[in-house]
Amino acid sequence: MIQQDEKFLKSAQLLRSFAGIHRNMIRYVQKTAADHGLSMPQYTILMALARTAEMTQKKIGKKTMLPKSTLSQAVDGLVRDGLIDREQVEGNRRETLLSLSPLGAELIEKIHQHEGGVHQVFQEVTESLTDEQYEKLLEVHQQINEKLTNTRQEERHKC
């Protein structure tokens, strides 16, 4: 019984640690988005597009896990503001292809350089770690992420 309690305490402690980091990250992301006149969904979409030249709206929805209505409203706002371009996928009128506009790419650069924004703060955090700490942290995070992903996929296959 004691061994089981210790396992529970360790997992609860790790959960609290991740929850604290998550809360802080959300606070910084919200501030960064608001400082640039973006909603959280708009910020999330821009960051997803920042890593790739273009992506279908459906794929962005899967990647960001935003509800369809939220995604549509956010995309409409980004298109209206000239931050992303939207076009129909050739041969499939139901699919929409999204890409960053030059103005959107410029905004992403500003966001990355924003003093006190999430990207600058995380850069400072990263720089405070030794190379060994950074590599080990990344390795452990990847291990946890893989385990969580595999567990979720196993649960889906049981249904």
**What confidence score (pLDDT) does residue 2 get?**
64
- In this structure, what CATH number is given to the domain that contains residue 71? 1.10.10.10
Q: Across-strand partners of 98?
A: 55, 86
> How confident is the model at residue 157, as a pLDDT?
67
Q: What whole-number distance in Å separates Cα of residue 53 and Cα of residue 104?
A: 12
User: Does residue 65 belong to any structural domain of this protein?
Assistant: yes
Per-residue pLDDT, 134 = 96
What's the pLDDT at 22?
96
In angstroms and rounded to an integer, the radius of gyration of the C-alpha atoms of the chain is: 19
Tell me if 18 is assigned to some domain: yes
Q: Is 46 among the domain residues? A: yes
| 1 located within any domain | no
Query: Which residues in the chain belong to E strands, given as ranges?
Result: 54-56, 84-89, 92-100
| Domain count of the fold of the chain | 1
Estimate to the nearest angstrom the gap between the alpha carbon of 71 and the chain centroid. 14
Question: 0.75 cut: is pTM over it?
Answer: yes
Helix (H, G, I), strand (E, B) or coil at 51: coil
Residue 152 belongs to a domain: no
Residue 102 lies in a domain: yes
What residues make up the domain containing 79? 7-128
Residue at 88 is within a domain? yes
Regions of the chain short of the pLDDT cut 50: none
pLDDT value of position 1: 57
159 part of a folded domain: no
